[in-house]
Structure 1
Amino acid sequence: MPRLRRLRLAVATVLGDVAGWSSRRLRRGSGEVISGRITQLVAPDALQRRLDGRPVALISGTNGKSTTTAFLATAMRTRGPVATNDKGANMPTGILAAMGHAPPGSTAVLEVDEGYVPALLSAAAIDVLVLLNLSRDQLDRVAEVRKTADRWRQAIVASPATTVIANADDPAVVFGARAAPHPLWVAAGSSWRVDATSCPNCGARILFDGDNWQCTQCDLARPAPQWSIAEDGHLAIAGDDTVDLRVELAVPGRHNQTNAIMALAAATVLGIPMRAALDAMTSIRAIEGRYDYVWGKGSTARLYLSKNPAGWIEIIELLKRSPRRVLIVINAEIADGKDTSWLWDVPFELLRGRHVIASGRRCQDLAVRLFYAEVDVATEPDLDRALTVARADDCDVVANYTAFRDVRRALGVAR
């Protein structure tokens, strides 16, 4: 029987590889999802078998998954081979494809869609689970935030051996993560609190007071963080005065500093020395095109991905510091969520005084929102023309999920 299972897995892997190659050849996509689907169809236990016998870390949350995964994967490579889904296919089929040819004994560092955390926890023994944040995203196809948090909680209860590293500043994350026997709490911040006004445990109002928060009825409250980062980037670990590390990265923003300390905490749990892990993380300058510089020859553009209100708050903080013109590209495909009403939750008013070009398949929706935010906006539905206009000066380009892919293809920098 074991021999037959090995043969089935080998055949499934070959067939999956062929399907993935065909998808890329036909320019239908990167091939990860169809590869994983075929593999799973032939060998239903393939994911469990690919994950067994190796250290496994999962990273999940609404925002920051790809960046935190890249940080942790880079840190883990200081010890040896790493298998990771760095192309963003973060559902079980994509993860299975990424693990298809992982070297035996290599560490698996995997980005996981929020809705599939329970499935991964039940599929194999998971060493570390990193939970970043939870907020509204893809309104027409993703479960309500508190429902996702409750599913996390139930899955964590059933996985007591998994070390959970969680954001102490997000009430929904705390509700799910406190089911772990010994969660490691990180002060990773939460600038978006609209989805945290009521308690995910009892439904009562949550009261925020500076960095602290607590439910007004039950015992859900901000736990004391064990890891935190000062405004100047210095790392602090409760009970350890010997730590003298400053988080200085090549990618911008406070949110990336907090992503980095989440990854650093995970790397430490997995046995990587803090200094070596942090030094490795500083080498990252872009993550699948995010924060990358393009063009040159007289003008440059920096690329940003932002797909929901919580993510936009972080990006707007970066845009506020820049005098460059802004090109925003918005689509509403299945992967983006077809409901664009989230645009009205983004504080675009903070861009007043900047010239913005609106493009993408839902550029008119964006232009209306910017008009009411009193932002100077020009609409150009054709992405190639919009990029040509933007290229006249230095520019910040911000796009949501499929629009970001379109921008990179139009610029000739997509893999």
Structure 2
Amino acid sequence: MTARSPLRTRASVAAGRVTAWLSRKSGLGSGGMIGGRVTLKLDPQALRRLGRERTVLLVTGTNGKTTTSLMLARSVEALAEVAHNSEGANMPDGVLSALARRPSAPYAVLEVDETYVPWVAEQVDPAVLVLLNLSRDQLDRVGEVRSLERDLRAAIAKMENTHVVANCDDVLVTSAASAAANPVWVGTVRRWTDDSTSCPRCGGPIVQEGRQWRSDCGLVRPEPAWQLEGNEVRTPDGSSVALDLRLPGDANRSNAAMALAAANCVGVSPDTATGRLTSITDIGGRYRTVRRGEHAVRLMLAKNPAGWAETLHVLEKDAPVVVAVNAHEADGRDMSWLWDVRFEELRGRKVIAAGERCADLAVRLRYAEVDYTMQADPVAAIDAVRPGGVDLVANYTAFRDLLGRLPNDN
């Protein structure tokens, strides 16, 4: 925040910082949301005033926002200081708090909940918008994903000076990003395609032929300027850079490809960016391995069918699996998404259904013909399996609660 900021904005930010500090001191939370909420209440123009004084890069999508934004922030830090909502508070309150914490940072990398992208983008006029994927998630809060695509498409059409870095292997993302004046297409690896069986423009079927896809109305997979190929990313000049990630799975390699393309839009070379990604070992505790007694517990987060499609492919083949599911507001109270997860792939494994909604999960596992037991407390579920490695997969609030109960040391 510079001296040009009005007195009202400076006072509002100060009040938000005090509120955030009080929240942390009283143990009520990190303060990222409440601090921003107070600031916006006192000055509704605060986000516009704080955001438009710097180069802003927004990251959105149903899955991978926190991972990709961290990768992008690390890359852009090669240029200068970066404001970043690293704790994942991606509503407007959290976005504002991130800007207020680093008032002099010339760059900002902000993950934004996809439903708020039109409003946030209007406020901060982003240099870059990263579109990862669009799939069903929290139907009770977000609504139908095709309606979301239309809202994003309309917002992108207004972004005359924004580089829109988009996943061309996601049909809904491609439809939305095709409205951009400056699209940057990235080819990735994706397993979840159930939300892209029909065209969002004409309603006709999507025809898939290898990597290519098309619809009858002319919506087709664009030729990517950047392409993930195994452990390498092919860049627009035809060369390739190797990914040396310490995070598992195709989803994280795809996130890295998106981050490289976005960082390049603001002047970070692919070689510089890849070198800065090797230090990332976990994302807010995700993929971290912790010790509990005689167990080595690997922590993973999966909150919807698209996330589970990737998670199922990085589970250890012989390790027991504890699945913890809650249904708080932050998770989405609608539990129908469980029926779109291919839990059948867990047949033959030792599986424990845990979390506040373990009974709902147990019903789904029964229909998937998975042999399971129930233990509502995820920590007790860990203790109930044989000594050794355990994969623990939790949705949002179940994961957050576990981080507070398990040790932080590896």
TM over 0.5: yes
Q: Aligned equivalents of 1:127 and 1:199: distance in 2?
A: 29
Q: Aligned equivalents of 1:109 and 1:31: distance in 2?
A: 19
Match of 1:393 among 381, 388, 394: 388
Counterparts in 2 of 1:244 and 1:195: CA distance versus 1, 3 Å: closer
Shift of 1:47: 0.5
Is the contact made by 2:235 and 2:241 (CA closer than 8 Å) also made in structure 1? no
Is the contact made by 1:19 and 1:38 (CA closer than 8 Å) also made in structure 2? yes
Q: Name the SS for the 1:183 alignment partner.
A: strand
CA deviation string 1:131-164 (max 9, x = no partner): 0000000121112111111111111111110000
Q: Name the SS for the 2:182 alignment partner.
A: coil
1:265 corresponds to which residue? Answer: 261
Shift of 1:192: 1.2
Look up the equivalent residue of 1:237 and give its one-letter code: T
2:330 corresponds to which residue? Answer: 335
Q: Aligned equivalents of 1:67 and 1:385: distance in 2?
A: 29
Q: Aligned equivalents of 1:180 and 1:390: distance in 2?
A: 51
Structure 1 position 36 matched with structure 2 position 36: yes
Shift of 1:6: 2.2
1:78 corresponds to which residue? Answer: 78
Counterparts in 2 of 1:299 and 1:386: CA distance versus 1, 3 Å: closer
Match of 1:246 among 222, 242, 250: 242
Q: Name the SS for the 1:109 alignment partner.
A: strand
Q: Aligned equivalents of 2:182 and 2:45: distance in 1?
A: 30
1:284 corresponds to which residue? Answer: 280
TM alignment of 1:357-372, pairs within 5 A: 357-372=352-367
Q: Name the SS for the 2:195 alignment partner.
A: helix
CA deviation string 1:18-68 (max 9, x = no partner): 221222233322221111111011111110111122111000000000000
% identical aligned pairs: 46
Q: Aligned equivalents of 1:159 and 1:377: distance in 2?
A: 50
1:221 corresponds to which residue? Answer: 220
Structure 1 position 300 matched with structure 2 position 296: yes
Q: Aligned equivalents of 1:65 and 1:391: distance in 2?
A: 35
Is the contact made by 1:170 and 1:189 (CA closer than 8 Å) also made in structure 2? no
- Stretches (4+) displaced over 6 A: none
1:315 corresponds to which residue? Answer: 311
Look up the equivalent residue of 1:379 and give its one-letter code: M
Q: Name the SS for the 1:386 alignment partner.
A: helix
Q: Aligned equivalents of 2:24 and 2:104: distance in 1?
A: 26
Is the contact made by 1:81 and 1:103 (CA closer than 8 Å) also made in structure 2? no
Shift of 1:5: 5.8
Q: Aligned equivalents of 1:31 and 1:3: distance in 2?
A: 25
Q: Aligned equivalents of 2:386 and 2:330: distance in 1?
A: 28
1:197 corresponds to which residue? Answer: 197
Q: Name the SS for the 1:104 alignment partner.
A: coil
Is the contact made by 1:357 and 1:378 (CA closer than 8 Å) also made in structure 2? yes
Q: Aligned equivalents of 1:73 and 1:362: distance in 2?
A: 35
Q: Name the SS for the 1:266 alignment partner.
A: helix
Gaps of 5+ in 2: none
Q: Name the SS for the 1:228 alignment partner.
A: strand
Look up the equivalent residue of 1:411 and give its one-letter code: L
Match of 1:404 among 399, 402, 405: 399
1:179 corresponds to which residue? Answer: 179
Look up the equivalent residue of 2:274 and give its one-letter code: L
TM alignment of 1:50-69, pairs within 5 A: 50-69=50-69
CA deviation string 1:64-119 (max 9, x = no partner): 00000010011111222111001111011110011113142431000010001101
Look up the equivalent residue of 2:379 and give its one-letter code: D
Q: Aligned equivalents of 2:345 and 2:267: distance in 1?
A: 43
Cα RMSD of the aligned pairs, angstroms, is 1.8
> Bigger shift: 56-65 or 140-149?
140-149
Look up the equivalent residue of 2:235 and give its one-letter code: I
Q: Aligned equivalents of 2:385 and 2:36: distance in 1?
A: 39
Q: Name the SS for the 2:314 alignment partner.
A: helix
2:233 corresponds to which residue? Answer: 235
- Count of residues in correspondence between the two structures: 408
Q: Aligned equivalents of 1:403 and 1:33: distance in 2?
A: 19
Is the contact made by 1:325 and 1:393 (CA closer than 8 Å) also made in structure 2? no
2:372 corresponds to which residue? Answer: 377
Q: Aligned equivalents of 2:190 and 2:375: distance in 1?
A: 34
Q: Aligned equivalents of 2:264 and 2:34: distance in 1?
A: 35
TM alignment of 1:83-122, pairs within 5 A: 83-122=83-122
Gaps of 5+ in 1: none
2:348 corresponds to which residue? Answer: 353
Shift of 1:204: 1.7
Match of 1:326 among 307, 321, 324: 321
Q: Aligned equivalents of 1:27 and 1:383: distance in 2?
A: 23
Q: Name the SS for the 1:96 alignment partner.
A: helix
